[in-house]
Structure 1
Amino acid sequence: MSIDEIIQSRRSITSFKPDAVPTEEIIDLLEVAKWAPNHKMTEPWRFLLYTGEGTETFIQAFINSQPAPGGEVSDGVKRKADHFRSIPVHLVVVMPEDPRQKTWDEDHAAVSAMIQNFQLAAWARDIGMIWRSNDWIYNPTFRESIGVEPGEKIVATLMLGYIKDVPKPKKRTDIKEKLTIIDKYSE
C-alpha cells in the first residue's frame, strides 16, 4: 500500500485476534515511529509495555482505580476489564511534564506524531489499535500501579493486536470547508 492508502484505510480497532504480538515486533514498530519530528531532538517519550501475563498488571491497575461504593467492583468495570483481557497488548505512552508551556506543547506534539507513526507502521503490518485517553489515566492509583513516575503525563494507552474486524470508514468533512486561503496581503 502507498502511504496515502495506509493513512486513509487506518481505523481504530477494538476487536482483536487472540494471537500474541511478539515484543520484538512492537520494538521494531517503535524504532520506526521514533522518526517523528521533535523539536531539538528531545525524544520526549517513554513506553510501558504490558503483554502476556503482564497485561493483568494493567487491568488490575484499571480496576483498582475505579472507586465503587462498599468496595465492590461494578458490573461495568468488570465488563471493561474482561474486554481489556481480550486485547493482547497494552502500551502506555508517557511524556515529561514541563512547566514551560512552549516545551509542553512541543513535546506533546512530538509524542502525538510518534504515536501516529506507530499506528500507521502497525497498520501496514496488519496490527491495529485504539488510542485511549480515558479519565482513569489521571487517577493516581492507576498511574502509580502501572509505573508512571511523578512529573510524567500519560498521553495514550494504546490497546493493540492483530486485527479481527475493520470498521467501515466514517465520513470526513471536505477539507475545503476547513480551509481558509489567504492569497493577498492586506493591512
Structure 2
Amino acid sequence: MEPSLYPIAQAIRDRRTIKKFKPDPIPLELIRELLDVAVWAPNHGLREPWRFVLYMEEGKQVVVDAILQNAMKKRDPELLLRIPAYLLVIVHEDSRQREREEDYAAACTLIQNFQLAAWERGLGVVWKTEPFTYQAGFLQAVGVRAEEKLVGMLQLGFPEVIPEARARTAANDKLTVIHSNVALEDKKGNVTVTADH
C-alpha cells in the first residue's frame, strides 16, 4: 500500500504547528474528548502521571499575567489574550530517576497524541516550552506545584494560517543497522560492533 493510504501516517505528515488562530471559541467538550484520546499514550506501569489545567475565556488572564511578569522579552498582552485557550500538561516528578524520566516521556507522547487528535478535528496546537515556563514565579502563578514539572503549555485554536510543510531528514541518514552479534574489542577495551550507516 502507498504510505498516503495509511491514515495515521498521513495525519503525522499533515499535522502542522499552528501559531495564528481564528478568534472562534473552542467547545470545552471538544478539548475533553481530545484529552480522553490522548491519555491512551503508553505509560510505564499505567501510572498515568499527568494532570491538566485548562485556561479559557476570562481564565486566560491568569496565564497572560504570569507570562508578562516572567518573560525575559516584552510581550503584547492583547496578542496573548487572542489565543483561544491554554492547556498545561503537568506531571508529578517522581524522586526515582528512571520513573521520573519514564513519566516525562509518557507525557510527551500524550501531547503528540493530543496534537494528532486535535488536527483530525480541525484544531491547531503549538507546544510551548519558553524560558519563562521554567521560572518559579510563572509555575506558581499557573498552578504547578513544587513537586511537579510543566511538560508543555499548549496554545489551542482553530487555524487561521496553516504553514507549509518543512522538509525532514530521511531517517535512513540517521540510522545505524547492526548485522552481527559479534562484538569487537579494541586494544583499549572499548567494545564496538560492525555496522552499516
Q: Is the structural similarity TM-score above 0.5?
A: yes
Query: What residue in structure 2 maps to residue 77 of structure 1?
Result: 74
Residues 1:94 and 2:90 aligned together:
yes
Q: Residues of 1 paired with 2:29 and 2:88: CA distance?
A: 17
Identify which range, 82-91 or 7-16, moves more after superposition: 82-91
Q: How does 1:94-113 map to 2 (within 5 A)?
A: 94-113=90-109
Which runs of 5 or more residues in structure 2 are unaligned? 1-5, 184-197
1:64-116 Cα offsets, whole Å, 9 max, x none, are 2247xxxxxxxx5232x332212101001110112211001100110001110
Secondary structure of 1:19's counterpart equals coil
Q: TM-score, normalised by structure 2?
A: 0.87
Which runs of 5 or more residues in structure 1 are unaligned? 68-75
Q: TM-score, normalised by structure 1?
A: 0.91
Query: What residue in structure 1 maps to residue 117 of structure 2?
Result: 121
| Structure with more strand by fraction | 2
Query: What residue in structure 2 maps to residue 3 of structure 1?
Result: 8
Could you say which structure has the larger radius of gyration?
A: 2
Residues 1:170 and 2:161 aligned together:
no
Could you tell me which of 44, 49, 53 is aligned with 1:39? 44
Residues 1:147 and 2:152 aligned together:
no
Letter paired with 1:171 = A
Coordinate RMSD, CA, aligned? 1.3
CA positional deviation for 1:118: 0.3
Query: What residue in structure 2 maps to residue 70 of structure 1?
Result: none
Q: Residues of 2 paired with 1:82 and 1:52: CA distance?
A: 13
Identity of aligned residues (%): 40
Could you tell me which of 26, 42, 56 is aligned with 2:31? 26
Identify which range, 136-145 or 111-120, moves more after superposition: 136-145
Could you tell me which of 50, 53, 57 is aligned with 2:55? 50
Higher RCO (C-alpha 8 Å, min separation 6)? 1
